[in-house]
Amino acid sequence: MASKFSSLSTISLFLMLFFSLSLADSIPIFNTPETLCNSTPHPSFCKSSLPYNKRGTIHDYAKISISNSLTNARSFLSLVLHYLNLPSTSYESTVLALEDCLFLAQLNIDFLSYAFETTNISNDNNLPGSITFDLLTLFSATLTNLETCLEGLQSSASASNILNSLSAPLSNGTQYCSVSLALFLHAWAPNTKEGRLLTERNDTFPNMEVGARKSLPLQTHKSIIGRKLLQAFTDGVSVRKMAVVNPYGTGDFATITDAVNAAPNNTASSDGYFVIYVVAGVYNEYVSIPKYKKYLMMIGDGINQTIIAGNRSVVDGWTTFNSATFAAVGQGFVAVNITFQNTAGAIKQQAVAVRNGADLSAFYNCSFEGYQDTLYTHSLRQFYRNCEIYGTIDYIFGNAVVVFQNCKIYTRLPLNGQFNTVTAHGRTDPNQNTGTSIQNCSILAAEDLASSNGTTKSYLGRPWKEYSRTVVMQSFIDSLIDPSGWAPWSGDFALATLYYAEFDNTGPGSDPTNRVTWPGYHLINATDAANFTVSNFTLGDFWLPATGVPYFGGLL
């Protein structure tokens, strides 16, 4: 059965580095739920959900657990539809929160259906390493989706009665998916190295970047509009078709949304990218790249030239999830030379410029501008290169497997009495493969913060969720960052379970002398830092070359 998602290869070392769960033996070992469930985050729930008196292999029980998770996801979708269709469900904030849940529940059914079909496809219980890593990422995302649904309901005061009714199903769904993730790791962690790198670093020229190319910017002269205009970036990238967005009437479409709608549905990476060139201008529209618009590439004329702007916010009744000016879900999405803005301002609290839940997605030479919650790296595998990110509170947040490389991260001046946090990572389960890795970036004060009186405290991050994981390495940290480095969320919440680490940073804000002494904070060495590089953390060597986005796979 062909992979519905990516056809990546993987290496056994990756999972062994990241997870402490033991590998299943090649010879089937029969177990009972009593022994298997003790190694999951929810042993009691695990035991109650599996056939207690039936002995089986770890693969047998993992398959049963995945089936249970899928059944639960379908039931939850029906429940959400029930509440959406009730005449009493009329408050807009409640409807918006339920619509988020509906969208996320449908994604979970997609992910779990694929996992169920894939793990049941053969009798020998062997999965290619590529599929194993895909499924690990998808299981991690199902937990994120359930948590996001819960957060939206909690943020809506009018949804309190519905929240009471959905809390138990959400809790059950989370436990089902958590158990499935744990058992899957036990059963299918790869034990062989497969294939080879699609593009390998050249040992003769160790400083050469994989996929290196000149920085754009693209020209806009009318005489070369078309394929030649994009050749500076797309040379070497498989392109199936190109469309031009120009609000002045000389392109194929007047709006970005119209161009997205015209892209083919459910294409594969081998089909090539559908490229949308967005000419310079300000586009006041809310753009969504849906799950069935795969391998779409959007290229603008440059930062502050092609601008996509919106102003939705939590204060104005939107959930954080659907406040985004631009939202991407379709696998393989690539954006180049575009500025994304949420102009709601600091007074409007959470207001997202970009929400990204697109697996195998990349942003290159892009700018993300907002205040609180600017860039929502929601889920799945992501990469950001040569980008600029502006914000105040938790302005890089989410629960993706994400690497930022060669980016400039600008902290703005918040409201009076507020402090700044660059990151807020949202890992809720110790077995999720998620985390935020910041490599060879510059963490700086934006102009308004730099020119203020200097009393605002700024931190590298704080633990939004219990297993928050963020690594800052080989980066320049300016003096805006408080000597303690990191801020708590509330009391001692997550201070022992988080994983925050620094490695080989420079600049006046990088001095580790007065850093926090939490159990979860670490100063790491090169061996540990290598786990959070593009090659090891996202397995980017197997998918980034096709995007045309330059990167380096290891440490500098």
Q: Which residues are catalytic?
A: 394
**DSSP structure class, residue 320:** S
β-pairing, 287-289 with 361-364? unpaired
CB 78 within 8 A of CB 52: no
286: three-class secondary structure by DSSP:
coil
Q: Is the dihedral of CA 243, 246, 248, 250 positive or negative?
A: negative
C-alpha distances (whole Å) from 115 to each of 111, 188, 263 are 6, 12, 27
**Two tokens at 348?**
């409007």
Listing DSSP states for 240-279 in one string gives: EEEEEE-TTTTSSBSSHHHHHHHSPSS--GGG-EEEEEE-
CB 210 within 8 A of CB 201: yes
β-pairing, 30-31 with 56-57? antiparallel
Say which residues have a Cβ less than 8 Å from residue 405's Cβ, sequence separation at least 6. 383, 384, 385, 439, 440, 441, 534, 551, 552
Tokens 């020209």, located at residue: 219
CB 398 within 8 A of CB 369: no
* Nearest-angstrom CA–CA distance, 339 and 278: 11
59-90 burial: b if 16+ Cβ within 10 Å, else e: bbbbbbbbbbbbebbeebbebbeebeeeeebe
CB 433 within 8 A of CB 137: yes
Side chain identity at residue 415, one-letter code: L
- Of 407, 518, 417, nearest in space to 461 by CA: 518
* Nearest-angstrom CA–CA distance, 311 and 323: 8
Q: Cα-flanking dihedrals φ and ψ of residue 397, to 5°? A: -145, 165
Q: Show the beta-strand stretches assigned E in 446-495.
A: 458-461, 469-473, 476-477
173: three-class secondary structure by DSSP:
helix
CB 9 within 8 A of CB 190: no
CB 362 within 8 A of CB 549: yes
